[in-house]
Amino acid sequence: MTEKIEQLIQEVKDLKAASAQELEALRLKYLSKKGIINDLMADFRNVPVEQKKVVGQKLNELKTLAQERINALKEVFENEKAQAEKPDLTRTEYPIGLGTRHPLSIVRNEIIDIFSRLGFVLADGPEVEDDWHVFSSMNFAEDHPARDMQDTFFVEAHPDIILRTHTSSVQSRVMEVTQPPIRIICPGRVYRNEAISYRAHCFFHQVEALYVDKNVSFSDLKQVLLYFAQEMFGPDTKIRLRPSYFPFTEPSAEMDISCNICGGKGCPFCKGTGWVEILGCGMVDPNVLELNGINSKEYTGFALGMGIERITNLKYQVKDLRMFSENDVRFLEEFESAN
């Protein structure tokens, strides 16, 4: 019997299992009630008394070794299993959750696209501006009401430094360093000291266009306006120009388009008129050309400016302007774009 136990001890030391099932089979074979070791225990009573001590010790040794070996193998399998279940933190999550473009960006990009098809190129200027570029160079008289504290945010320590109230300041920024031909489109954020409500905000977005060259005429302006309106709102869109006033254009006009919500029949959005105003425009005042270093005898130009929020409202009927800056994902996810 001692020999058999010795042999089993060697066997148990080298036990191997390739799977949890194999390991369970080993456990049953050696350690279960009907296993080899228990059988040996049962035979122990037949061992002659004088050998009982030695055989007993060997038997205990075998049992302990078998338990240790099987427990060790079990631990290996449990570790492997835990490892397999652990998330791999270095792996990218699939599918990657793509965001959507902001509605104002979608519309801004569309406006830029339309004007670039006509040869307009992007231009940019600072949002924190000086009085010269926002007002004086744009032919605002010293006492013009738009300079009033109510409209303009001033930087307290420097009354000459303001947040631009319109993107027309970029006209001046470009003209002071460029000679015609100039054909630019300038999108950007502007600020006005207004109480925030569903229809007004203290910041919003505009796009400015400026074209200065020899022989630029009002009919060029009209053609660009019609092209823009029909590209933006569809080929059936009609435009009309109403005389208006801006310090930097002469003559000046405001452009209406046939209401694209009711198709011109009249609805609450167009207040029953069938028309909605979308932009201001005009021929660049010769004073503005001269103030910005361009010879007004040689060159003429037109300019136009529009609010991106307004165009977006017309396209998507967003009823509350504040939605644009609240970053509510449920609102933002409603907009999809190709670019």
Q: Give contact residues for ligand DAH (rule: CB under 6 A).
A: 166, 168, 208, 246, 249, 280-282, 303-305
Contacts of 320 (CB under 8 A, 6+ apart): 198
> How many residues are there in the chain?
339
Which helix (H) or strand (E) element contains residue 329?
helix 329-332
| Closer residue to ligand DAH in complex, CB, 264/301 | 301
| Closer residue to ligand DAH in complex, CB, 8/225 | 225
**Contact yes or no for 339/220 (Cβ under 8 A):** no
**Beta pairing class for 154-155 and 128-130:** unpaired
Residues pairing with 253 in the sheet: 243, 281
For residue 166, what are its two tokens? 């319109």
CB of 253 to ligand DAH, least distance (A): 8
| Closer residue to ligand DAH in complex, CB, 241/267 | 241
CB of 309 to ligand DAH, least distance (A): 12
CB of 218 to ligand DAH, least distance (A): 12
| Closer residue to ligand DAH in complex, CB, 116/337 | 116
* Neighbour-count burial of 315, counting CB atoms closer than 10 A to its CB (0-12 exposed, 13-18 middle, 19+ buried): middle
How far apart, in Å, are the Cα atoms of 78 and each of 26, 67, 167, 188?
A: 16, 16, 67, 60
CB of 276 to ligand DAH, least distance (A): 16
CB of 238 to ligand DAH, least distance (A): 20
CB of 334 to ligand DAH, least distance (A): 28
User: Alpha-carbon distance 164 to 152, whole Å?
Assistant: 8
| Closer residue to ligand DAH in complex, CB, 166/201 | 166
| Closer residue to ligand DAH in complex, CB, 237/249 | 249
